[in-house]
Structure 1
């Protein structure tokens, strides 16, 4: 039996009785007393409270509150599961939001205290506006940033901005924002003496200082709006213009702050500046109204390809 399988069996046995004599527990696992003691220490290192009674009649038991089935995952695996459930809970997968919230609560409750503190930080320090599939983000970096936001702890990290060389940053982290397929850190940049948003997938080697800072007030107070405003200022690859046969207010509710909607000739005109045409295609599909793409030509071609794909699926 592998070490991981044996520890899973050990935890299962500890849950069935409040107290296990050491000899009986070792016999059940078919290991020596020395191996059993090492496995108990491994469980403690993972954050599970296992009390021991020494002596000839000694044994082990889970401390009160430790009787729930534990989560035997590597740190990054546990955080990845909780992050995925959090994204679903915020609407990244339609129709399972309530179920995801329930599952997320259970998963975090089963984590060892150390991992639970990381996920509590991630949940409490994140603002969300979700669509599409998430980008690749290192869970360890994500949780390190979340805990720094929660604890008002300055950070050093290496950052590679768009089309730029890596630079060293010294910041006061304020808030994490989950926006579409990206994660962003909103922070006060001490070297530039101004607020900045940083894409988390471009952050490397965040290093906590162990110090504390007095939180500053973010202009406008809304981290999500701050990130969105910054993205709109970045030159985008495509200028989108679409005539939509739908009420301007209905279209504006779908587009939110990511485009401009102008009433026109019984319908409206939707304009957007984007770096990726998948987003306007998703918006147009969600509208459920007739439309005509006026520009760019690349969007016309993408809509045609998507239409062909769906048409073939109906055959």
Structure 2
């Protein structure tokens, strides 16, 4: 059983009480009174795991599952409430206990299969820059893998290797291990060392103070303070290899822009030529916004069934032409001329491909 509270794992399938306990009564057994018949922390984890199943548990059934008296079950329920778990009790002959939604997200207790399923899903999503999920998914993956037993970590890695996704994102694939190492170093304020390949192919070793991971919808970027260059830098994560946290702590510096996403945006504008796009869509602004990357701008409604997008972008014109074609709706590109030319060439290429024998 795995707990996501960061306290580690509880091995085995539960605890076994001494025989002869009065599970069907309100009395407490001699073993329970002496404190030697049960392991309270492990029993609480097992009780929490049962309550996190979406159903109501009668007190008698919980008593039998845990091998303790109903009085001990009630005490354990009170302990969980003291820890912040909102356990609701219902009265009557068929009454029982149910875990309900509270004001805050309490730690979850997962069995082996649940932990593996969540880790595999997070690793699959972390390999690409998933818009809207961004760094939160990577932080969750780092926390989960930190407490996974080695046997479960091996199962996750095996499933990841043996699984081929049907589709992939627009950007380069990223090893989940790379993202989790970076996220953990940033969260723990540890200096991070890695090998880096620049856009012109130059290889270098970097020692940094990682600040934040940022997703642009296509790629992951790391905003960090470069120790050797004594300045802030942005690094494309798909060009990073062999990252590891050195264990050396640092006091966080103040980022010039205050916001990592804004710093990435300004860095991209400085390093790449930008141009203005102007496109009219034969679809509502809401429909276009659902299928078009928000990093490329926000469409403005013209009518209930048309909208227009004007934005400054730095992405490659050919890639933008493909993204427009993937929206699934009619559109007219008013500019720039390079985009119009690229769309004509793309259309002609697709037409030739469709008419080939």
Alpha-carbon spacing, 1:268–1:228, altered in 2? closer, same or farther (3 Å)? closer
Residue correspondences, number: 230
Choose which of 273, 280, 290 in structure 1 pairs with 2:332: 290
Unaligned runs of 5+ in 1: 1-13, 22-57, 92-100, 116-130, 262-266
Give the Cα–Cα distance (whole angstroms) in 2 for the partners of residues 307 and 62 of structure 1. 67
Conserved? CA contact 1:145–1:173, under 8 Å: yes
> Equivalent residues in 2 for 1:182-197 (5 A)?
182-197=219-234
- Of 165, 190, 208 in structure 1, the residue corresponding to residue 245 of structure 2 is 208
* Contact 2:196-2:241 at 8 Å conserved across structures: yes
TM-score, structure 1 length as denominator? 0.54
Query: Is 1:83 aligned with 2:126?
Result: yes
SS, match of residue 302 in structure 1 = helix
Higher alpha-carbon Rg: 2
SS at match of 2:190: coil
CA contact (8 A) 1:158 1:168 kept: yes
Answer with 186-195 or 289-298: which moved more. 289-298
The CA distance in 2 between the partners of 1:139 and 1:111, in whole Å, is: 11
What is residue 203 of structure 2 aligned with on the other side? 166
Matched, 1:299 2:353: no
**In the aligned structure 1, how far is the partner of 2:213 from the partner of 2:179?**
9
Distance 2:129 2:260 in 1: 18
| Separation in 1, partners of 2:124, 2:40 | 28
- 1:150 Cα shift? 0.4
Structure-to-structure mapping, 1:25-40, within 5 angstroms: none
Counterparts of 1:220 and 1:171 in 2: how far apart (Å)? 18
Deviations 1:212-271 (A, max 9, x none): 1110111121111211221222235x957556479xx99xx878664799xxxxx78666
Alpha-carbon distance in 2 for matches of 1:212, 1:290 = 53
RMSD of aligned residue pairs (Cα, Å): 5.1
Once residues 137 and 111 of structure 1 are traced to their aligned partners in structure 2, the CA distance between those partners, rounded to angstroms, is 17
**In structure 2, C-alpha distance between the alignment counterparts of 1:149 and 1:110, rounded to whole Å:** 16
Are the equivalent residues in 2 in contact too, given 1:18–1:62 (CA < 8 A)? no
Counterpart in 2 of 1:24? none
**CA distance in 2: counterparts of 1:86 and 1:235, whole angstroms:** 20
Aligned to 1:141: 178
Shift of 1:132: 4.5
SS in 1 for 2:133: helix
Q: Say whether the 8 Å CA contact 1:259–1:273 is kept in structure 2.
A: no
- Quote the residue 2:147 is aligned against: 113
In structure 2, the CA distance between the partners of 1:112 and 1:301, relative to structure 1 (3 Å rule), is same
Counterpart contact for 1:293–1:299, Cα < 8 Å: no
Flag the structure with higher helix content: 1
Whether 1:277 aligns to 2:318 is: yes
Secondary structure of residue in 2 paired with 1:192:
coil
Structure 2 counterpart of 1:44: none
